[in-house]
Amino acid sequence: MVLHRNLGPYDTTAIGLGEMPLTIEDNLGWQQGIDTIHAALDAGCRHIDTAWAYYCSGGEEQTGEKLVREALSSWHGPRDEVSVATKVGHYRNFTDGTPTWDVDGRPENLILRGKQSAKALGVEAIDLLYFHRPDPAVPYEESIEAIRQLVDEGVAKYAGVSNASIGQIDIARRILGDRLIAVQNQYSPIYRQTQDTLDYTGKVGLGFVCWSPLGGYRRKKDETVFDPFRAVAKAHGVSYQQIVLAWELAKGSHVFVIPGAHRPRTILDSLRSGEVRLTAQELAELG
């Protein structure tokens, strides 16, 4: 059984599916995306993370949310057990012919995009809606007030913030109160700069959701960082990716991971990370 934890009011899996690779550049096609989501759900995954901005730059908007909707509507399992998170505030564009990301945290934009997300997902209320990334051109309070309005209006049940500092988390806590349940920040062996927010969320009772928990795939990275994880994996007879995810989950009972996947076999491997038991010595060695 896939490891379960409480994310706010949701009894869900600590290992979710990060949908982004299924609908941005270099994805393997719509049906492969459906098959990958179905494989995850059939294996017991009960949390899917997507975003308004998960689409190919220059292509149809919101394809990630639309893919999740179709996958869930065509799945024959218990839909009511699955929580879906999405995010607003990002969008795609081209810069000198290169696919890029940009932000728009204006309240009117977030309110519009939040309603579009609910429509694309085919739900009356989004389970968990994140403010995707701070917009330096807009006061953070104004963006979070827009997220609160979406919750107040019933467009979303609960809220989260992503790519947030401790100061920004506190602003969101003040404005959203107990409707704020999660912080989604980048965290992995090659990106530990958010350790402070991981620790802080544990102290104040919020879920900490690691994005790119395996280091990501869109940029080159120093693979030697994973050598200690490969050594532990060899001793356990599992993939080093399982060890990385198990190490992150061991950081606290409030920690969740949302590894991405291009294929069913990838997410099926990741979902087994909750079965790995790392010793105190191994955890100390991994840092």
Q: What pLDDT is recorded for position 221? A: 76
Q: What pLDDT is recorded for position 94? A: 84
Mean pLDDT of 202-228: 91
User: CA separation (Å) from 220 to 24, 92, 213?
Assistant: 18, 21, 15
% of the chain exceeding 90 in pLDDT: 95
pLDDT band for 96, please (50, 70, 90 cuts).
confident
Looking at CATH, the fold of the domain delimited by 4-286 is given as TIM Barrel (3.20.20)
Mean pLDDT of 265-269: 98
**Does the pLDDT of residue 163 top 90, yes or no?**
yes
Please tell me the distance from the alpha carbon of residue 198 to that of residue 166, in angstroms, as a whole number: 10
Q: What is the pLDDT of residues 11-53, one digit of tens each?
A: 999 999 999 999 999 999 999 999 999 999 999 999 999 999 9
Mean pLDDT of 268-284: 97
Active site residue 54: yes
User: CA separation (Å) from 200 to 147, 183, 212, 214?
Assistant: 22, 10, 20, 22
Q: What is the pLDDT of residues 114-157, one digit of tens each?
A: 999 999 999 999 999 999 999 999 999 999 999 999 999 999 99
Say if residues 256 and 7 touch (Cβ distance below 8 Å): yes
Q: What pLDDT is recorded for position 216? A: 85
Q: What pLDDT is recorded for position 95? A: 80
**Does the pLDDT of residue 218 top 80, yes or no?**
no
Please tell me the distance from the alpha carbon of residue 99 to that of residue 212, in angstroms, as a whole number: 19
pLDDT band for 223, please (50, 70, 90 cuts).
confident
Q: What is the pLDDT of residues 50-73, one digit of tens each?
A: 999 999 998 999 999 999 999 999
Q: What mean pLDDT value characterizes the chain?
A: 97
What's the predicted TM-score (pTM) here?
0.97
Mean pLDDT of 258-286: 97
Cβ-proximal residues to 122 (8 Å cutoff; 6+ apart), any chain:
69, 73
**Does the pLDDT of residue 97 top 90, yes or no?**
no
Angle 138-193-170 from CA coordinates, rounded to 5°: 45
pLDDT band for 228, please (50, 70, 90 cuts).
very high
Coil/strand/helix, residue 10: strand
Q: What pLDDT is recorded for position 42? A: 98
Residue of 10, 54, 140, 240 marked catalytic? 54
